[in-house]
Homo-oligomer: A and B are copies of this chain.
Amino acid sequence: MTHSHALFATPEDVEAAFYTAFSQCDIAAMQKLWAHDAVVCVHPGSHAISGYSAVLRSWAYIFDGAELPDIQLKLVSRHASEGLAVHVMQEHIATGEKTTALLLATNVYRKYADGWLMVEHHGSMVQSQQVAHTVQ
């Protein structure tokens, strides 16, 4: 799979670009950091979206008319191998006068011949300190 745009030197560079694109609602920047093959995105509370085009359409939908969010990040965990990196990030997202939302995201980065790109983003809203007892 070839990519027409410049890739990133490290997983951390992709992640920085991802959160800059997210906080600026910049779909052109977002288009440049996802791989073209086998990507998947789970927005909080939503189904899995598979494939580059569908994933980018979902971000365009989120960005359309949105107030620019303020996103405060904290690294929860990081696993890395030669070709894959998996980061769990805590995201505090504030938009306008709305209440700040607390989310957790698993971000997965993959190394291609020319560098790193994002292949997965799985976000979930933190709704409670409690572990649910009925279903996991």
Contacts and interface: CB of A to CB of B under 8 A. Distances in A.
Given A40-B76, A127-B45, A66 B132 contact: no
A98 B134 contact: yes
Contact of A43 (B50, B90, B103, B132): B132
Contacts of A9: none
Given A79-B38, A135-B69, A104 B47 contact: yes
A4 interface: no
A88 B42 contact: yes
Interface size class of A (residues with CB under 8 A): 35 or more
B84 A134 contact: no
Contacts of A82: 81-83
A128 B46 contact: yes
Listed residue (A82, A120, A125, A131) with the most chain B CB atoms within 10 angstroms of its CB: A131
Given A79-B108, A79-B120, A125 B45 contact: yes
A129 interface: yes
Contacts of A56: none
